[in-house]
Structure 1
Amino acid sequence: MEEKGLRKFNGESFHTWQTNLKARMEGVKPGTGRANISSIIPGWFSEISPMWPGEAHSLEVKEILFEGKSDFQDVLVFQSATYGKVLVLDGVIQVTERDECAYQEMIAHLPLCSIPNPQKVLVIGGGDGGVIREVARHKSVKQIDICEIDQMVIDVAKKFFPDIAVGFADPRVRLFVGDGAVFLKEVCDGFYDAVIVDSSDPIGPAQQLFETPFFESLARVLRPGGVVCTQAESVWLHMHIIKDIFSSCRKTFKGSVNYAWTSVPTYPSGVIGFMLCSTEGPVVNFRQPVNPIEKIDSDNTIGPLKFYNSESEAAGNRAVPSVLSGSGQQAARLRLGRRCPQRADNAWYPQGVVVDCILHPVSAEPECRAFLRIRLVSRVGPEPTFCTFLARVSRGAPIPYCIPFLSQKCRLYF
């Protein structure tokens, strides 16, 4: 692990991750399959990737703390002006001191708070230690296994992010350095209560962590009614990936499958999602935490929770219409409005906008797919007006759902 020292930026400083511009724009790093074109120009780091074409997120850099190259990826740590220390892998921001809590707490507590008395937990990835830090809060947990492929990430996290990597010091933690997919093959059936997959984006070696064979391995190592939570990209950028993950999980996991998301400002689009799945067995309702961490005997010696609570779990489990409907075109027909009699075609015009949609358990009615709780904000009048109601999502043809809204009859079409 080679440390480059503490280099302050000035107008003459310039660093790029590859010296040849053509290679950066066209080439793919050997062994990773990841095009590496993020760069640091005087005073700024810009995150550029084919995973989010046409946009880049930039942070002001005060000094570079570490640069290294492992067998798997480029590793960079820098001190930012606004987000504290930042960990970057292959040009993509993984962790910042300021907003890491939103990701680490949600990916850990969404699954663990949904089942009673979790005892054996596996974390795949998560070499910065943040996920195991959060898992360690649950005193019912007796064994925490973590499988991280890159030793350099672990070493860098312990050196530069001690408040995040503190989880490695917990005596319940067993560290395995290696490929998570290979590790799963050695695990006995039904061994874990929960598995958390803190993976990078589905490019290069991480691609296999988003495919059906990997999900089948996850399901095999879970006990009946066990849960898995895996990183599942951004609804604004990767809907095609999310739909593929959702479809694979629906085929693999015989319990429930849900999608949740949270806000992380330094991730592309400011949003990151999670796929929550359970195996066949005791029913798991990810929207009704049975093991709320703020009410159980948890370990807060590592500091208080900063982001997660049971209310955020319900709010975080928001439905993604194109995933839930299985058709982006069908979801695109979701609209709110009222008839305009002045128009010859008697068309609808916008009366409000859907703020969020929260999926409710599937109804017992055979013709009903689910219920959505819809929150609307009006575009009519000087002040925004909110309205919340339930919409019945039919399995068959599109149906209208009429409600009184601002003294007008509005319809929500599916």
Structure 2
Amino acid sequence: MNSLGRHILVEFHGCSSEVLNDVPHIEASMLKAAKESGATIISSTFHHFSPFGVSGVVVIQESHLAIHTWPEYRYAAVDLFTCGYSVNPWVSYEILKTEFQAHHGSAVELNRGQLELLEKSDIDLGDLRDTATQKLISPRYSRNVWFTDRNENIALSIRHKGDRIFYEKSPYQSVEIFDTFEYGKMLTVDKMVMCSEKDEKAYHEMIIHVPMLVQPDIRNVLVIGGGDGGSVREILKHEQVESVTMVEIDEAVVRASREYLPTLSAALDDPKLELIIGDGIDFVRQAPDETYDLIVVDSSDPVGPSEGLFSQAFYQDVYRCLRPGGVMTAQSESPRFNQRAFVELNHCLKDIFGVASVHCYLAFIPTYPTGMWGFSFCAKGDRHPVQDLESDRAAQFATAHNLQYYNAGIHQAAFCLPTAIDQMLNG
């Protein structure tokens, strides 16, 4: 041995883009590479960067294995550093090349700490040289794996337990469920947070009870999206509802929610619900005029299969399908995380429903980037979301159903926008 450590700088080319964007797979591959090389694993920390890329490190008793990936280029850069010669980093290299499905790889090995250039000194450890420190204690392995939802300027990271409890790449999108430490089970679509067990009620109670407690005569409801079932659960708390039609494009979302998110999905078996797996845009286009009292657009962000749900043509069909006096609510993005979509959707809805009939309101959802999320209340008529609220009835309803976010005061306050956001929409 003529050096303190071996350092291999690795580049993998032509890898699987899907693998390089998959945090649990990469973490498992890196742990396998460390273990098979003879290393003692101490901890692992991995982050996903939405929409592309993973960074992570496996700390080993003998040093570390680190990685960053660029799925869009099918490229990964890996750093294998081992102290001494008990661990063989080239074993790790071969394992990772296979796991990442690389067409080819290149590596250069450096000897770190050339012994002929170093002078060893005596170190007085003082009180550390006691009996306890002489005992061989196996390090306890800790796992630190993070899901990150981000754009080019803002990121939200949520720590989870490492292994996905559901994953499927459907014809439309990647559907995953993670078990997080702080928020329970969390559903994501294309690496974006959709909902979590702990804070989903803020979203679902506000998108549903705001319109339904303003318009008490809602009988027939259409939900576009909402495959997790949370919106349907809240709708069916209103006894006057006679029928709910839910159109969800991705069966995988429904199946995953049924199995792993029962607190959200229980109402998907209610006899009042007609569940249609299909394209909500096509459904609304073909629906008869003046059919529904309430339409709820419970969509994901405006990418992939949800992109068309942010178009003028879609909302013109929504307007046509509403009965006179009917209302619509839609999730309308974050004024801070996706400002352009937030503003453009608001202007689109005003063009269709009329300026006086469109009202933005806010809720605060910790697992969504920035925590501040927008909704749009639109009326086909003169229904006003604050002036027409019966506060006593809303308060009684919230108490009777043990609502966790919605109450009469929150309903009214949600429409009182911060000055900067009001100027953003009306300036």
Aligned partner of 2:43: which letter? Answer: G
Q: Of 396, 410, 413, which residue of structure 2 is paired with 1:315?
A: 413
Alignment RMSD (CA, Å): 3.1
Aligned partner of 1:60: which letter? Answer: R
Given that 1:125 and 1:198 are in contact with CA atoms closer than 8 Å, whether structure 2 keeps it comes out as: yes
Please list, as runs of the form range in 1=range in 2, the aligned pairs for 1:13-412 lying within 5 A after superposition: 21-24=69-72, 43-49=144-150, 52-62=151-161, 63-254=163-354, 256-280=357-381, 282-290=382-390, 292-295=393-396, 300=401, 304-319=402-417, 321=419, 324-325=422-423
Closer, same or farther: CA 286–184 of 1 in aligned 2, 3 Å:
farther
- Unmatched tracts of structure 2, length 5 or more: 1-23, 32-41, 55-67, 76-141
Aligned partner of 1:310: which letter? Answer: A
Larger RCO (CA within 8 A; separation ≥ 6): 2
Closer, same or farther: CA 81–327 of 1 in aligned 2, 3 Å:
closer
Q: Secondary structure at the match of 2:186?
A: strand
CA distance in structure 2 between the aligned counterparts of 1:176 and 1:224, rounded to whole angstroms: 25
Superposed CA deviations along residues 127-178 of structure 1, whole A, max 9, x for unmatched, are: 0000000000000110011000000100000100101101112211110111
Given that 2:333 and 2:373 are in contact with CA atoms closer than 8 Å, whether structure 1 keeps it comes out as: yes
Given that 1:139 and 1:297 are in contact with CA atoms closer than 8 Å, whether structure 2 keeps it comes out as: no
Superposed CA deviations along residues 221-273 of structure 1, whole A, max 9, x for unmatched, are: 00111100001111222232222111111110146110001000010101111
Aligned partner of 2:205: which letter? Answer: E
Q: Name the structure 2 match of 1:11.
A: 43
CA distance in structure 2 between the aligned counterparts of 1:324 and 1:232, rounded to whole angstroms: 14
Q: Which stretch shows the higher mean deviation, 233-242 or 94-103?
A: 233-242
Q: Secondary structure at the match of 2:275?
A: strand
Please give the TM-score of this superposition, normalised by the length of structure 2. Answer: 0.65
Aligned partner of 1:56: which letter? Answer: A
Identity over aligned residues, as a percent? 30
Q: Aligned-pair distance for 1:289?
A: 1.7
CA distance in structure 1 between the aligned counterparts of 2:235 and 2:193, rounded to whole angstroms: 22
Q: Secondary structure at the match of 1:163?
A: helix
CA distance in structure 2 between the aligned counterparts of 1:118 and 1:297, rounded to whole angstroms: 18
CA distance in structure 2 between the aligned counterparts of 1:312 and 1:327, rounded to whole angstroms: 21
Aligned partner of 1:108: which letter? Answer: I
Superposed CA deviations along residues 177-202 of structure 1, whole A, max 9, x for unmatched, are: 11111011221111100001011111
CA distance in structure 1 between the aligned counterparts of 2:71 and 2:309, rounded to whole angstroms: 27
Closer, same or farther: CA 293–90 of 1 in aligned 2, 3 Å:
same
Closer, same or farther: CA 189–160 of 1 in aligned 2, 3 Å:
same
Given that 2:398 and 2:406 are in contact with CA atoms closer than 8 Å, whether structure 1 keeps it comes out as: no
Aligned partner of 1:265: which letter? Answer: P
Task: Compare the two structures and name the one with the higher helix fraction.
Answer: 2
CA distance in structure 1 between the aligned counterparts of 2:385 and 2:417, rounded to whole angstroms: 14
Superposed CA deviations along residues 287-317 of structure 1, whole A, max 9, x for unmatched, are: 54248444359984xxx21111121110111
Please give the TM-score of this superposition, normalised by the length of structure 1. Answer: 0.67
CA distance in structure 2 between the aligned counterparts of 1:11 and 1:157, rounded to whole angstroms: 31
Closer, same or farther: CA 26–181 of 1 in aligned 2, 3 Å:
farther
| Shift >6 Å, 4+ stretches | 7-10, 13-20
Q: Compare CA radii of gyration and give the structure with the larger one.
A: 2
Given that 1:118 and 1:194 are in contact with CA atoms closer than 8 Å, whether structure 2 keeps it comes out as: yes
